[in-house]
């Protein structure tokens, strides 16, 4: 019984880690900064309903639910992600990193980046 409880605890801890623990080494940046650094592709992993309201130019629309099936259609190894929330961002970055893509930055739909706040003042 104790072994089953430990296994269940490990599974729950892994799920919580992959969803809620932030990914280190991937900065929140503006799209212009990502284009200056590398020839990257902008990947919008928000739902179609959300991304259609706030469309961006030259981006690939692929909701997080479709990444597993269609990640091979992403043309570049350098990716800039647009996500709607932190959970979606964490799951997307971890999935793409495991598949060999290099995520150079991200933007949340309602982003409060320190860099953006410093530019305002």
Q: Supply the mean pLDDT for the chain.
A: 84
Question: What's the pLDDT at 76?
Answer: 81
With a cut of 70, say whether residue 119 has pLDDT above it: no
With a cut of 70, say whether residue 114 has pLDDT above it: no
> Over the stretch 11-21, which tens digit does the pLDDT of each residue have?
999 999 999 99
How many separate domains does the chain show? 1
Q: What is the CATH number of the domain that holds 58?
A: 3.40.250.10
How many other CB atoms sit within 10 Å of the CB of residue 38? Answer: 15
With a cut of 50, say whether residue 87 has pLDDT above it: yes
CB contact set of 73 (below 8 Å; sequence gap of 6+): 60, 62
pTM over 0.85: no
pLDDT cut 90: percent of the chain above it: 53
CB contact set of 78 (below 8 Å; sequence gap of 6+): 38, 39, 40, 41, 101, 102, 104
With a cut of 90, say whether residue 3 has pLDDT above it: yes
pLDDT band at 63; cut points 50, 70, 90: very high
CB 64 within 8 A of CB 87: no
Range of the domain at 108: 2-120
Distance (Å, whole) CA 109 – CA 104: 17
């Amino acid at each position: 019984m104790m072994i089953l409880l430990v296994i269940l605890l490990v599974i729950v801890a892994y799920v919580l880690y992959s969803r809620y623990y932030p990914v280190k080494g991937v900065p929140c940046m503006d799209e212009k900064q990502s284009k200056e650094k590398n020839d990257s592709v902008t990947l919008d992993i928000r739902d179609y309903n959300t991304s259609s309201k706030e469309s961006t130019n030259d981006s690939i629309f692929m909701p997080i639910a479709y990444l597993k099936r269609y990640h091979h259609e992403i043309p570049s190894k350098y990716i800039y992600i647009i996500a709607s929330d932190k959970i979606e961002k964490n799951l997307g970055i971890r999935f793409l990193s495991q598949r060999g893509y290099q995520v150079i930055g991200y933007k949340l739909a309602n982003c409060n980046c320190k860099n953006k706040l410093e530019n305002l003042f």
